[in-house]
Amino acid sequence: MLVKILKAFPYSADGMRTRALVAESLEDVRDELIIGLMEEGYVGDPDQAVAQSNVEASSGGAQPTSDVSGVAPIELDDGDKSGGSIPKSKRSLKA
């Protein structure tokens, strides 16, 4: 599902390769993760994201960047850096 990224976080679309999603960008995120990411404030309403993107594009406003060189991994409470800062109760190993 297309969503607006509100806070940068590491994401794996296939469960094997991780990449950093950048704040203010529009990204396609797996449907089963949307509710948890919205509850934690990492992603926003896809309808508002698309509408805002269309307004910015038509007005010549700032466009999202895909530069992730300055994004550091997010550390979990238990020291594991592989899952971002998503609480354990919200994580899922389902494909």
What percent of the chain lies above the pLDDT cut of 70?
Answer: 47
46 domain residue, yes or no: yes
Domain of 13 in residue numbering reads as 2-88
Report whether pLDDT(83) > 60. Answer: no
pLDDT of residue 12 exceeding 60 = yes
Whether 56 shows a pLDDT value over 70: the answer reads no
Tally of structural domains, the chain = 1
With tokens 């991994």, the residue in question is: 73
**pLDDT of 62 above 70:** no
Is 95 part of a structural domain of the chain?
no
Residue 10 in any domain: the answer is: yes
Distance CA 28, CA 40 (A): 17
